[in-house]
Amino acid sequence: MTEPRDDIDRRLQDWYGAQEPSQTVMERARALTLGWRSLWRRYAPLAAASVVASLALTWWFIDEPPYADTAAAEIATNHLKGYGPEFPASAIEQLSPRMGERLGFELVTPTRVREQAEVTIVGGRYCSVGGIGAAQVACRGADGERLTLYLWPAGDDLPPGWSSTHLLGDTTVTIWREGHLLAGLAGPR
């Protein structure tokens, strides 16, 4: 003999299983579904165009990496400390055998520095820019003013020839990419 409770459960399942939504409810559901699909079809291209436009405008107006200001501030701060060189040298190429192995890259004189005949190399020391190992090269300008050149490896996010100049207090810092290196030159305004 079946339990009365099992019999009631079976009857309820049979009754609810045989029920169907009314025609009115089905029409409302279809209308809602078609309305959302219609809206999606209508506004999806607009949403996609907005995303593309936002990305294009961001790329257009931001022409330097976000860390350029931070790197320039760090370079200016280290320049103002005025640390003397650990390795005396009259050319950057003389520093490369001493410092290059520990830094993991070859030190070369940037073209901008080489073209300025009035810049004299005094020597170099280890430092970091943005947490990346770098060479800090002490220099003298034509008037005897103290200049400091920083060399560190360039990432892939900057195009060749990229450059940026920052005025920080009484110090001018120019950062540029040259080959596999980033170079930063700090000096008086």
18-36 tens-digit pLDDT: 878 788 888 877 777 666 5
Structural domain span for residue 19: 4-61
Which of 17, 40, 61 is at the close of a domain? Answer: 61
Q: What is the number of domains present in the chain?
A: 2
138-164 tens-digit pLDDT: 999 888 899 999 999 987 777 888 888
Alpha helices, DSSP H only, in the chain? 4-18, 23-61, 67-81, 92-103, 111-115
Same domain, yes or no, for 148 and 180? yes
Q: Which residues, listed in sequence order, are joined to residue 171 by a DSSP beta bridge?
A: 168, 188
Same domain, yes or no, for 129 and 146? yes
Please report, as a single letter, which amino acid is at residue 64.
E
Same domain, yes or no, for 166 and 121? yes
Same domain, yes or no, for 108 and 178? yes
pLDDT at 38 > cutoff 90: no
Indicate yes or no: pTM above 0.75: no
Q: Helix, strand, coil shares of the chain as percentages rounded to 5? A: 45, 25, 30
Contact yes or no for 162/176 (Cβ under 8 A): yes
Q: What percent of the chain has pLDDT over 90?
A: 39
Same domain, yes or no, for 149 and 119? yes
Same domain, yes or no, for 147 and 77? yes
Same domain, yes or no, for 87 and 42? no
The residue behind tokens 């820019």 is 129
Same domain, yes or no, for 112 and 170? yes
Q: Residue 152 is part of a domain; what is its CATH number?
A: 3.30.200
Same domain, yes or no, for 54 and 80? no
The residue behind tokens 């990496």 is 65
